[in-house]
Structure 1
Amino acid sequence: MNIEQARFNMIEQQIRPWDVLDGAVLSLLAAVRREDFVPTAMKALAFVDTEVPLGEGQVMLAPRVEARMLQELKVQRHETVLEVGTGSGFVAALLGHRAQRVISLECRPTLAAQARANLQRAGLSNVEVREQCGSTGLAEEGPFDAVMLSGSVPSVPKALLDQLKVGGRLIAIEGHEPVMCAVLYTRQSEQAVSREELFDTVAQRLDGFPEPTRFTF
């Protein structure tokens, strides 16, 4: 496989047509080696428009979803970012290239260890992986400029929204299969948070977020 041609095709045929037009984001996707964050047995899927299995029943988001969420979050170089759901560490790496500091939370010890190794090999010294679930966030390190939930949740817990600075943004995929939507929350003031629906997609559930009780008749 011609790696660079495959990377080019991923960007031009999957990501750009999905309204990812930010030149800085596209340049970053061309520079960060996605194949280095994919399990060895899955290397052939590194640039395919699909979720890549990571083991333990977990997956990487599809490349176009990662790219669109990164673009919409609009992370700036001076900002501190919290990610929930580290997985392989690829999204944390992308965030690390754009932010001053990134803390990424991963429930599963094996994935957390693999992500740390991947990030270390990639030279990302401003990204820290912590082994814990992220449904309650990380209040002791907040408030944050930006929060990314790298997976889906029934709804975003108030505890996470409360950890946004004024002007801070949180992006997540909310809902229940088959209807889910990427949403962007922005803290407008100490009292007010806005919510904007961005695009429809479906993603695997993040660990540790309680599902609402459903009545059956």
Structure 2
Amino acid sequence: MPDYSAARHNMVEGQVRPNKVTDHALVEAMSNIPRELFVPKASRGFAYVDEDIPVAKGRYLIEPMVIARLLQEARVKPNDIVLDLGCGTGYASAILSRMAATVVALEEDAELSARADGTLRELGVDNVVLVQGPLIEGHAKQAPYDVILIHGAVAEVPAAILEQLAEGGRLVTVVSPDGRMGQARIFQRTGKVETGRILFDAATPLLPGFEPKPVFQF
């Protein structure tokens, strides 16, 4: 099997660190987790490029810089419980496993969930709980969460998912109301109020099920 350690180092030094990513635990995780294991075998040569990589129909592994910036802005703490919504093949869950206490990895695609489970087991990750179910509903059974990552762009963040945040909890994702260029945003819960702010622009593909609602014209 090819050695991807040099490509991984170049990703961190050329894409992650230069884009204001300084969180030590995050950088350490991205420096050591083999991203190539989370993409299809035919795409492993592209695992470390600064692009979104297809992993299934309509599903992507978000480009390294964007996922790194989102996770840094989420300010993940060692005792946090995190929901990785739309975990796909499990790459972000693997990173979060080294930053948080527990990760609930939610995926509705059975094949992706199985791939994530196999890869995380191969890497010896033992604090990620894989759950299969509809993404649009989140996973209220294990709520509230200190951090929620929605792994893909959304036209809007459903209220039902925001309600799964703990007091002071943070949700990070890319919001793209028209399905085109989006903006990475962070939402935080204080009491019963969620506030949000824009972080940076990102052309992240929409997560299936979270597309813009049709507008009826007369």
| TM category, shorter | over 0.9
Q: Tell me which moved more, 36-45 or 151-160.
A: 36-45
Deviations 1:80-108 (Å, cap 9, x if unpaired)?
Answer: 11111111100011111111111111121
Q: Which residue of 1 aligns with 2:187?
A: 185
The unaligned stretches of length 5 or more in structure 1 are none
Q: Which residue of 1 aligns with 2:45?
A: 44
Q: Which residue of 2 aligns with 1:153?
A: 154
2:194, 2:54 → 1: CA distance? 35
1:79 matches 2:99: no
Alignment RMSD (CA, Å): 1.5
Q: Note closer, same or farther for the CA distance 1:209–1:21 as it changes in structure 2 (3 Å cut).
A: same
Q: Which residue of 1 aligns with 2:18?
A: 17
Alignment of 1:33-182 (within 5 A): 33-175=34-176, 176-182=178-184
Judge conservation of contact 2:59–2:207 (CA < 8 Å) in 1.
Answer: no
Percent of counterpart pairs with the same letter? 34
1:6, 1:57 → 2: CA distance? 26
TM-score (norm 1): 0.94
SS in 2 for 1:128: strand
Q: Note closer, same or farther for the CA distance 1:57–1:208 as it changes in structure 2 (3 Å cut).
A: closer
2:51, 2:201 → 1: CA distance? 16
Judge conservation of contact 2:148–2:170 (CA < 8 Å) in 1.
Answer: yes
1:177, 1:140 → 2: CA distance? 30
Q: In structure 2, give the amino acid aligned to 1:207.
A: P
SS in 1 for 2:174: strand
Deviation at residue 21 of structure 1 after TM alignment: 2.1
The unaligned stretches of length 5 or more in structure 2 are none
Q: Note closer, same or farther for the CA distance 1:9–1:145 as it changes in structure 2 (3 Å cut).
A: same
Q: Tell me which moved more, 56-65 or 40-49.
A: 56-65
2:151, 2:56 → 1: CA distance? 16
SS in 2 for 1:105: strand
2:214, 2:37 → 1: CA distance? 40
1:52, 1:35 → 2: CA distance? 11
Deviations 1:95-140 (Å, cap 9, x if unpaired)?
Answer: 1111111111112111111011011111111111212122121112
Q: In structure 2, give the amino acid aligned to 1:185.
A: F
Deviation at residue 216 of structure 1 after TM alignment: 3.9
Judge conservation of contact 1:107–1:207 (CA < 8 Å) in 2.
Answer: no
TM-score (norm 2): 0.93
Judge conservation of contact 1:133–1:208 (CA < 8 Å) in 2.
Answer: no
Q: In structure 2, give the amino acid aligned to 1:182.
A: A
SS in 1 for 2:98: helix
Give aligned pairs, total.
216
Judge conservation of contact 1:51–1:61 (CA < 8 Å) in 2.
Answer: yes
SS in 2 for 1:177: coil
Deviations 1:132-176 (Å, cap 9, x if unpaired)?
Answer: 122121112111111000101110011011111111110111113
Deviation at residue 56 of structure 1 after TM alignment: 2.6
